[in-house]
Structure 1
Amino acid sequence: MSSSYLIALGSNRRHRVFGRPREVVRAAMEELAALGTVTGRSSVFSTDPIGPAQRRFANAALVIESEYDPLALLAGLKHIEREFGRRTGRRWGDRVLDLDIVLWSGGKFASHTLTIPHDEFRLRDFVLRPAKMIAPNWRDPVTGLTIRQLSARA
């Protein structure tokens, strides 16, 4: 049985092959098709860094239909991050690629490695703005608000 997932993408470091962060995000969107069928892609936005990150980010969102359960999809996302050169490091630091599961059609999910919905997505314009382009009516299973409503509050 297939599920829908809303994935947030971000980059603020150059990649030796793909180039600038904007191109890294676009290349990652193509790579995500290996995990299912991409049914929606936002534009790529330039956003200010948060935390200790120093460089501006390129951010986007996509919707993917996948046969993978949440933990298997997370493993696939982490594999793609590593393929793009992502290394573990400090939280909110500069990174070549960051892929997060924000929402899924199954509602809430929690394990020791993954929480859906993503804990802080409701406060992050860099997630809500691209998500609103492709999934404005998806509802947060915690608040019951749509992405459009959450975006208006952010």
Structure 2
Amino acid sequence: MKYAIALGSNLGDSRTILESALNRFENIIARSSWYQTKAVTLPGSSSQPDYINGAAILETELEPLELLTKLQQLEAEFGRVRYQRWDARTLDLDILLVDDVVFQTETLEIPHPRMSDRAFVLVPLAEIAPDWKHPVLNCSIAELLQTVDASDVRKL
């Protein structure tokens, strides 16, 4: 199966963490440049350092829930602690898309439910997979990117 994965970090040596995390994957088909973006926080929460974000396309025989478990284990290895939603983190790995599949359980929803609203996801993904169709919205990643404000996403 072909997966699109989002990567992000805003704690520690983010670039080194992200590169090291990517090196743990086999069968990476494509990877984006790194981008600096403002942190998305919950209303009323304290400010956070900027994120470094990117995307990768990989092939694996793992089923979506198996890959999710692997990604969460990798996050933990790099020091991710889950306190609250949208907290600062050493490593954040999200499954965005898998082939042209729609997949939903209590723990995982593919396509990622908020990916189409997030420039920090769409900009790097459009760099490596502009023609990949969102299976629910029936738009390409490049088309989705045209619907968001990407002015705060800066290529490193």
- When normalised by structure 2's length, the TM-score is 0.90
Cα distance in 1 for partners of 2:101, 2:122 equals 17
Q: Distance in 2 between matches of 1:99 and 1:147?
A: 19
Distance 1:103 1:146 in 2: 12
- Identify the match of residue 79 of structure 1 among 50, 73, 77: 73
Distance across 2 between alignment mates of 1:111 and 1:105: 17
1:24 to 17, 21, 39: 17
Output the CA distance in 2 between the equivalents of 1:28 and 1:44. 13
Q: How many residues align?
A: 144
In structure 2, distance between residues paired with 1:136 and 1:106: 14
Question: Contact between 1:25 and 1:44, CA under 8 Å: does it hold in 2?
Answer: no
- CA apart distance, 1:31: 1.4
* Residue range with higher mean Cα deviation, 93-102 or 103-112: 103-112
- Asked if 2 retains the 8 angstrom alpha-carbon contact of 1:41 and 1:134, the reply is yes
Cα RMSD (Å) of the superposition?
0.9
Point out the more displaced range, 105-114 or 55-64: 105-114
Unpaired stretches in structure 2, ≥5 consecutive residues:
149-156
**Distance across 2 between alignment mates of 1:138 and 1:106:** 9
Decide which moves more: 118-127 or 49-58: 49-58
1:17 aligns to what?
A: none
Which of 115, 134, 142 aligns to 1:140? It is 134
Task: Report what 1:9 is aligned to.
Answer: 7
Q: Please list every run of at least 4 consecutive aligned residues from structure 1 whose deviation after the TM superposition is greater than 3 angstroms.
A: none
Whose helix fraction is larger, Structure 1's or Structure 2's?
Answer: 1
